[in-house]
Amino acid sequence: MNMRMKLIPAIDLIDGQCVRLTKGDYASKKVYNSDPLAQARIFEEAGIEHLHLVDLSGAKAGQPMHLDVLEQICSKTSLKVDYGGGIRSVENISEVLARGAKQVNLGTMLIRNMDKATEWINTFGVESLIASVDVLEKKVRVSGWQQDAGFELYSVIERLLESGFIHFTVTDIDRDGTLGEPAYQLYTELLNRFPGIKLNASGGVSEQEQLIRLDQIGCHGAIIGKAIYEGRIELLS
């Protein structure tokens, strides 16, 4: 596939294993590989450069639970890793970056402390932080998607842009892990309304043609999970 958009495979971690959920439901867990490093190497050998590493155990616990896995992947592959899940403090951000991550996904911590957004951008740099905004019917969700944050999507994006964020990953929870299709209309609206953002699409990708359409819309990257593990998308960067 010849496209400008980054292809970003996802490894979701629960208890040290690569899993996938459906619509964020932990009860729907399916294990795809018991060795995250081996899975990361499969992606690397296929020519992939980026990896989205999600600490689902951490998201539930409220603290990172897979920093050793992060460090292993960063030290033993050339993948550029963005890491998220359970990050609740500035110390957590520093440690994730120290373990080798190129970028840190801030979700719950950021949404609940948007008044600190400018300070964190100034501390860690605009290229090191991704605003991870998870939505259900355009309402922002936090704490591993378990709670309604009380904010509308557009107001959150606008406020974080003003604070200096440019990297955003927007996940449509209702599509995640469903092998349906991405939220094209939502991403089109976001890019039309906020043309300066670098937007990673997340949720619902199930086939190659959808990646081409996301690229044409203007997405900066596309996070791909279950479709890779189920063999629906070939790993060609």
Residue 82 known to be catalytic: no
What is the crossing angle of helices 153-162 and 184-193, to 10°?
A: 40
pLDDT band at 178 (very low <50, low <70, confident <90, very high): low
- At 94, which CATH number? 3.20.20.70
Q: Is residue 236 part of a domain?
A: no
Q: Is residue 150 part of a domain?
A: yes
- 223's enclosing H/E stretch is strand 221-224
Residue 25 known to be catalytic: no
At residue 237, the pLDDT reads 46
Count: domains in the chain: 1
Q: Which of 82, 134, 176, 215 is catalytic?
A: 134
Q: Is residue 71 part of a domain?
A: yes
Q: Which of 12, 82, 172, 176 is catalytic?
A: 12
pLDDT band at 59 (very low <50, low <70, confident <90, very high): confident
24: exposed, middle or buried (C-beta count within 10 Å: 0-12, 13-18, 19+)? buried
Q: What is the CA radius of gyration of the chain?
A: 16
**Is pLDDT at 200 greater than 90 in this prediction?**
yes
Q: Is residue 30 part of a domain?
A: yes
The structure's pTM equals: 0.91
Place of tokens 């060609």: 236
Question: pLDDT tens-digit profile of 202-223?
Answer: 988 989 999 999 999 999 999 9
Q: Is residue 237 part of a domain?
A: no
> Rounded distance, CA 52 to CA 68, Å?
16
Question: pLDDT tens-digit profile of 38-54?
Answer: 999 999 999 999 999 99
Question: pLDDT tens-digit profile of 118-169?
Answer: 999 999 999 999 999 999 888 898 766 566 777 999 999 999 999 999 999 9
Q: Domain range spanning residue 219?
A: 6-229
Q: Is residue 98 part of a domain?
A: yes
Q: Is residue 234 part of a domain?
A: no
Q: Is residue 235 part of a domain?
A: no
Specify the 3-state DSSP secondary structure of 33: strand
